[in-house]
């Protein structure tokens, strides 16, 4: 019996540096990857896409003639969104630019250190994210409808005590989805909100700042000992698990990664369920892998409520599917319906 051949994932590399184009090409030059073309800037890449469309694009941001952001905008205008990974040397200082790109349609990002590059680690990250992105649906990152929620006296209070908790977990494609959900929730909702987004430590503070600017909530990167307060949002800092303590404060834990990630959605959800019991709403959005499945199962077992994003609106359906496979999803709905479901479930909490 003949062995079925695997079709390689085709990749386009867009970078104005000859050295970086060659370096990235060499790193990803493995059997399951085909380098379809390289381009020196966005304009060059658009011309090549029209002739040979790759499965994934690795995109630099700072380039002459046409930069990465303009390239993404032009792909959208031309209605030919291709899964795009930002590959850049931007660090914490440039994290806002990377978040701009994620908000405008990029699926993920990889940062290249300015010094002491670990080739093997970088290669592993690139290959993993290329394979994940090849299965993604980037059009979901730029599709949005506006829903308004009318305040209900039953679920709002001026008190800061966090008797109720909402925990949101996401990964690939998540930053924009989290923003969509939070921007449609009333900013004085009577619950604390914890966000666990798989993201490196250089980016989570800027991510929190952006959510604060865009959503109307007070949003901060969590610190050790932070109190969970009503209508305030704490974002798990990169490289730390965010644990809910019995006194309803935050503990940042640097123990081993779970499912290869830190922060872990599971660890936050499990600890939240143990402390808040039936007064927890768990939400799992787009993302690769299984993180969040066990956490949502624990929330459900403790009498809490669970909501997952449906396949049709996910960039990657892995994490929501893991919840569904464990029979731990009370509601499976589109991204625009999730705030409505949160709002409805808030009325069922004590």
Nearest to 205, CA basis, from 218, 194, 221: 221
Nearest to 251, CA basis, from 277, 224, 271: 224
The residues assigned a catalytic role are 171, 198, 291
Torsion of CA 320, 183, 279, 346, to 10 degrees: -110
User: Half-sphere exposure (CA, 13 Å, Cβ side) for 7?
Assistant: 5
User: Half-sphere exposure (CA, 13 Å, Cβ side) for 105?
Assistant: 22
Residue 115 CB contacts under 8 Å (≥ 6 apart), including other chains: none
- CB atoms under 10 Å from CB of 259, counted, come to 17
């Amino acid at each position: 019996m003949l062995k079925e051949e695997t079709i390689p994932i085709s990749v386009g590399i867009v970078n104005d540096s000859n050295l970086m184009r060659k370096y990235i090409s060499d790193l990803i030059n493995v059997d399951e990857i085909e380098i379809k073309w390289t381009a020196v800037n966005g304009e060059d890449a658009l011309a090549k896409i029209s002739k040979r469309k790759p499965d994934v694009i690795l995109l630099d941001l700072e380039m002459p003639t046409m930069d990465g952001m303009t390239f993404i905008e032009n792909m959208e205008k031309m209605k030919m969104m291709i899964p795009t990974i930002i590959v850049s040397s931007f660090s914490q200082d440039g994290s806002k630019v990377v978040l701009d790109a994620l908000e405008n349609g990029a699926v993920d990002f990889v940062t290249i250190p300015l010094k002491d590059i670990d080739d093997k680690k970088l290669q592993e990250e690139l290959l993993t994210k290329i394979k994940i992105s090849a299965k993604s649906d980037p059009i979901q990152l730029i599709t949005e409808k506006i829903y308004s929620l009318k305040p209900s006296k039953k679920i709002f209070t001026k008190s800061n005590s966090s008797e109720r908790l909402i925990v949101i977990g996401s990964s690939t494609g998540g930053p924009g989805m989290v923003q969509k959900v939070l921007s449609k929730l009333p900013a004085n909702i009577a619950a604390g909100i914890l966000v666990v987004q798989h993201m490196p430590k250089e980016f989570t503070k800027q991510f929190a700042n952006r959510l604060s600017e865009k959503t109307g909530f007070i949003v901060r990167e969590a610190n050790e000992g932070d109190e969970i307060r009503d209508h305030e949002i704490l974002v798990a800092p990169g490289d730390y698990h965010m644990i809910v303590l019995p006194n309803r404060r935050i503990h940042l834990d640097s123990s081993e990664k779970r499912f290869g990630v830190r922060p872990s959605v599971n660890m936050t959800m499990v600890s939240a369920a143990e402390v808040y019991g039936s007064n927890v709403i768990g939400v799992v959005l787009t993302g690769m892998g299984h993180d969040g499945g066990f956490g949502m199962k624990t929330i459900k077992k403790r009498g809490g409520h669970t909501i997952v994003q449906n396949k049709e609106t996910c960039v990657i359906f892995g994490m929501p599917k893991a919840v569904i496979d464990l029979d731990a999803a009370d509601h499976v709905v589109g991204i625009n319906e999730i705030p409505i479901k949160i709002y409805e479930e808030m009325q069922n909490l004590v």
